[in-house]
């Protein structure tokens, strides 16, 4: 494409759409010596050279050579900084001013921001990242310029990022300075020494009766928190299940008038769902097999209710330990949120993916939808008060206190290169040996 003071070359070899092409512009500074190159046309000889007639002269060049030479210099990403928070609301920034970043273990959340610059095709920039110390596996290609991590165990980490313009050739790896999640005070050597001295002092100064009394109070507090969790979970069930049952019965009534065979099948599936609900009604945590069976029936009912507007896929690695436990209604809550806040208002067909697989020293559960996204859901007023998600986090906080490794939960807003919402992904990692007793 010719212009008054230069010409441009467009790469169509890996072009996926016409909105974000990779373009190289050759101006006077880059070696263009012509004038008004857009008026007189071009021709291509048998050797692949382009002859470009300008008002001043005729230029001969090989566009592929020019393009490849230009793209040889990929932009280099840089890490802009990190932010951390203990409540996912009030964030503090850290810019590696002293060459490293130390984050208190009290901060459950931290975010890494990164950036790269491209003059020729800024909207085509895509990134891959990984957090060394958590996983050596690179992420999928993303256009977003930040990533959030939740409930990362204490230790030393290093964030790495690459960028690309075409998804084929990638820049050199850029590393962050060391990121250290500091060891909680109660696990430091000085704390153990303090505990030892305290135990000795208690053994000398405090009677057995007082010690027993303290132990009783501690047990009462644990039982109080456990009872509080059970009551909150029971309250959630008392709100969610009747509302869902109302929708199911309305759908059954409709099918009873239009399709009796489908109405009968609907009643059969609902009966099994009700049986599973009653079987787990008094449980605070369940095994993975029972939770999968529960959401299978739940999603079948939603599929029958919404018809062709909705479908779901449940994929389970054959090596997954189906007896592994997790808080009751965890998967149901995530799936229900995805449908009510992400898919129900989507004009196109909604799809919900549940992917469960083994990872190193644990189980990874991903629940992904192609809905309208959390931001748009909030704008439409469908987000609700988030009671289900809050309860899940409270349960995880409670059980994490009794385990060396925490269950980690990450919620990611999926977007395309233009920032348009593509849905939401929830990731839950349950470490091996996690106990609920």
> What is the pTM (predicted TM-score) of this model?
0.45
User: What's the pLDDT at 374?
Assistant: 82
| Confidence (pLDDT) at 194 | 76
Closest by CA position to 299, among listed 352, 263, 251: 352
pLDDT at 387: 65
Q: Which domains does the chain have, with CATH numbers?
A: 6-71 (no CATH), 78-186 (2.60.40.10), 206-431 (3.30.565.10)
pLDDT of residue 384: 55
Q: What is the pLDDT of residue 342?
A: 83
So what's the pLDDT on residue 138? Answer: 93
Please give the pLDDT value at position 142.
92
pLDDT the model gives residue 196: 80
User: Splitting the chain (437 residues) into consecutive groups of 10 residues, what average pLDDT does each group show?
Assistant: 82 68 73 81 88 89 78 78 84 70 81 83 85 92 91 89 82 88 75 78 77 68 61 52 57 64 76 75 82 87 82 92 86 85 85 92 92 82 62 78 86 88 91 84
What pLDDT is attached to residue 400?
A: 83
Asked if 294 contacts 280 with a C-beta cutoff of 8 angstroms, the reply is: yes
Residue 386: predicted pLDDT:
60
């Amino acid at each position: 494409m010719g212009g008054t003071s230069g010409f441009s070359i467009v790469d169509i070899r890996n072009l996926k759409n016409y909105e974000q092409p990779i373009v190289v512009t050759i101006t006077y500074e880059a070696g263009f010596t012509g004038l008004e190159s857009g008026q007189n046309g071009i021709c291509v000889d048998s050797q692949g050279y382009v002859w470009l007639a300008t008002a001043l002269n005729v230029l001969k060049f090989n566009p592929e050579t020019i393009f490849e030479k230009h793209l040889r210099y990929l932009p280099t990403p840089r890490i802009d900084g990190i932010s951390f928070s203990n409540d996912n609301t009030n964030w503090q920034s850290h810019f590696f001013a002293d060459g490293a970043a130390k984050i208190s273990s009290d901060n459950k959340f931290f975010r890494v921001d990164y950036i790269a610059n491209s003059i020729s095709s800024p909207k085509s920039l895509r990134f891959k990242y990984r957090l060394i110390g958590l996983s050596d596996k690179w992420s999928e290609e993303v256009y977003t310029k930040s990533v959030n991590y939740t409930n990362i165990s204490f230790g030393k980490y290093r964030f790495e990022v690459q960028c690309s313009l075409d998804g084929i050739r990638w820049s050199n790896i850029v590393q962050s300075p060391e990121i250290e999640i500091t060891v909680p005070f109660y696990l430091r050597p000085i704390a153990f020494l303090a505990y030892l001295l305290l135990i000795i002092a208690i053994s000398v100064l405090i009677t057995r009766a007082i010690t027993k009394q303290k132990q009783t109070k501690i047990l009462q507090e644990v039982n109080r928190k456990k009872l509080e969790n059970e009551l909150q979970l029971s309250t959630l069930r008392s709100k969610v299940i009747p509302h869902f049952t109302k929708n199911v019965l309305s759908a059954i009534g409709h099918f009873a008038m239009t399709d009796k065979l489908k109405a009968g099948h609907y009643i059969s599936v609902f009966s099994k769902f009700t049986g599973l609900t009653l079987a787990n009604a008094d449980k605070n945590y369940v095994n993975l097999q029972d939770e999968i069976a529960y959401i299978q029936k739940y999603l079948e009912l939603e599929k029958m209710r919404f018809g062709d507007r909705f479908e779901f896929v449940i994929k389970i690695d054959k090596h997954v330990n189906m007896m592994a436990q997790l808080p009751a209604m965890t998967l149901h809550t995530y799936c229900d949120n995805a449908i009510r806040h992400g898919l129900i208002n989507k004009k196109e067909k909604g799809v919900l993916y549940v992917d469960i697989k083994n990872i190193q020293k644990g189980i990874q559960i991903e629940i992904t939808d192609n809905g309208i996204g959390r931001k748009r859901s909030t704008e439409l007023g469908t987000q609700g008060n988030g009671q289900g998600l809050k309860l899940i986090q409270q349960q995880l906080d409670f059980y994490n206190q009794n385990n060396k490794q925490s269950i980690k939960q990450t919620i990611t807003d999926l977007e395309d290169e233009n920032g348009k919402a593509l849905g939401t992904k929830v990731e839950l990692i349950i470490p091996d040996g996690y106990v609920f007793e």
